[in-house]
A and B are shown apart, each in its own frame.
Chain A
Amino acid sequence: TQLLEQSPQFLSIQEGENLTVYCNSSSVFSSLQWYRQEPGEGPVLLVTVVTGGEVKKLKRLTFQFGDARKDSSLHITAAQPGDTGLYLCAGVRTSYDKVIFGPGTSLSVIP
Chain B
Amino acid sequence: ETGVTQTPRHLVMGMTNKKSLKCEQHLGHNAMYWYKQSAKKPLELMFVYNFKEQTENNSVPSRFSPECPNSSHLFLHLHTLQPEDSALYLCASSQGSSGTYEQYFGPGTRLTVT
Chain A residues within CB distance 8 Å of chain B: 2, 30-31, 33, 35, 40-45, 48, 50, 88, 90, 92, 97-104
Contact = CB atoms under 8 A, between A and B. Distances in A.
Interface string B83-101: 0000010101010100111
Interface of B: 4, 41-43, 45, 48, 56, 88, 90, 92, 94, 96, 99-108, 110
Contacts of B106: 42
Interface SS of chain A: helix, strand, loop or mixed? strand
19 contacts: A2-B42, A30-B100, A33-B100, A33-B102, A40-B88, A40-B107, A41-B107, A42-B90, A42-B105, A42-B107, A43-B90, A43-B105, A44-B105, A92-B101, A97-B101, A101-B42, A102-B42, A103-B41, A103-B42
Nearest to A32: B100
B100 A104 contact: no
